[in-house]
Amino acid sequence: MEFISWKKEDGVAIATINRPPANALSRSLILEVGNLLDEVADDEEVRAIVLHGEGRFFSAGADIKEFTEVSSGEEFSKLSASGQAVFERLETFHKPVLAAIHGAALGGGLELAMSCHMRFVSENAKLGLPELQLGLIPGFAGTQRLPRYVGVAKAAEMLLTSDPITGTEAAQLGLANRAYPEADLLSETLTIAKKIAKKSPVSVKAAIDMLQYAKPASYYEGVKAEAGSFGTVFVSEDAKEGIQAFLEKRQAQFKGK
């Protein structure tokens, strides 16, 4: 794999995202998440996975440059649905996946982290869904997962203002399990992963399976609707302006069209 490497340590696969400078989620990187799951699925020496980012960030978001290569709303909806499928597989994977988040998990980066079974953060990390700044919406089930963790009111605030929260706030709200000083983040996350790795794989899988029943009945309908809305919004003039403004590093001028 080009952007994700991994190694084993005491029953844990330590997987590292390395796509400088910001570990942006490209289509290729998302596919590699699926490839990682393929590689560890039947490896009996791997009982848990820790996912973290190399460099300054966990993942600062989607690769916006790739958005300019998509020509239609239908194609964008398919892109959304394909990413959702990978992240749904991650969330239901039979081996627990723990995200160690430092620097930033924004946009698609936070959607990736929310698909993991547990999230551990550095106290000063930034977590948010800033897609509305580009005239878009989250497309990898972020609109559905975020309210499950922080509640509808806080999710609305985060989505509509695009303002991120800190790692400390994320832990207080329930978006993250625990917050640590950045220097301790990976080692503390590994300690928890290794503790889980000592449990029975049969019972761990059963527990993960049972947690899926905690999803509200409307969740799957919402995820499907999000992919369609993602494509509809993408073909708006505002989305084109937002993407162009981001690439040109200027303030977008939205016209409501």
240 belongs to a structural domain: no
Of 111, 123, 169, 226, which one is the catalytic site residue?
Answer: 111
For the chain, 257 residues long, give each residue's pLDDT as a single digit of tens. Answer: 799 999 999 999 999 999 999 999 999 999 999 999 999 999 999 999 999 999 999 999 988 888 888 778 888 898 889 999 999 999 999 999 999 999 999 999 999 999 999 999 999 999 999 999 999 999 999 999 999 999 999 999 999 999 999 999 999 999 999 999 999 999 999 999 999 999 999 999 999 999 999 988 888 899 999 999 988 998 899 998 888 888 888 999 999 98
Q: How is residue 185 written in tokens?
A: 């983040």
The answer to the question of residue 113 being in a domain is yes
Neighbours of 4 (CB within 10 A): 20
Calculate ∠ Cα 238-243-248, nearest 5°. 120
Contacts of 58 (CB under 8 A, 6+ apart): 17, 23, 52, 99, 100, 101, 102, 103, 104, 105, 109, 113, 125
Structure tokens at 122: 């550095």
Task: List the one residue out of 184, 79, 65, 176 whose CA is nearest residue 127.
Answer: 176
Half-sphere exposure of 105 (CA within 13 A, CB side): 33
Stretch (H or E) spanning 48: strand 48-53
Query: What pLDDT score was predicted for residue 109?
Result: 97
Q: Tell me if 208 is assigned to some domain.
A: no
Q: Are strands 104-106 and 126-128 parallel, antiparallel or unpaired?
A: parallel
The DSSP-derived string for 135-194 is T----SSHHHHHHHHH-HHHHHHHHHH---EEHHHHHHHTSSSEEE-HHHHHHHHHHHHH
Identified catalytic residue from 32, 131, 169, 226: 131
Q: What are phi and psi of 165, to 5 degrees?
A: -115, 160
Residue 196, in any domain of the structure:
no
Q: What pLDDT is recorded for position 103? A: 98
Which residue in 256, 254, 243 sits closest to 68, CA to CA? 243
User: Closest by alpha carbon to 80, among 141, 38, 124?
Assistant: 141
Joined tokens for residue 27: 């289509």
Instruction: For residue 199, tell me if it sits in a domain.
Output: no
Tell whether 252 is covered by a domain.
Answer: no
Identify whether 214 is part of a domain.
no
User: Is 131 noted as a catalytic residue in this protein?
Assistant: yes
Q: Does residue 241 belong to any structural domain of this protein? A: no
Q: What is the pTM of this model?
A: 0.93
Q: Which of 101, 98, 121, 114 is nearest to 48 (CA)?
A: 98
Catalytic annotation present for 111: yes
**Residues of the domain holding 92:** 4-181
Domain count, the chain: 1
* Residue 9 belongs to domain with CATH number: 3.90.226.10
Burial of 202 (0-12, 13-18, 19+ CB in 10 A): exposed
Contact 18, 55 (CB under 8 A): yes
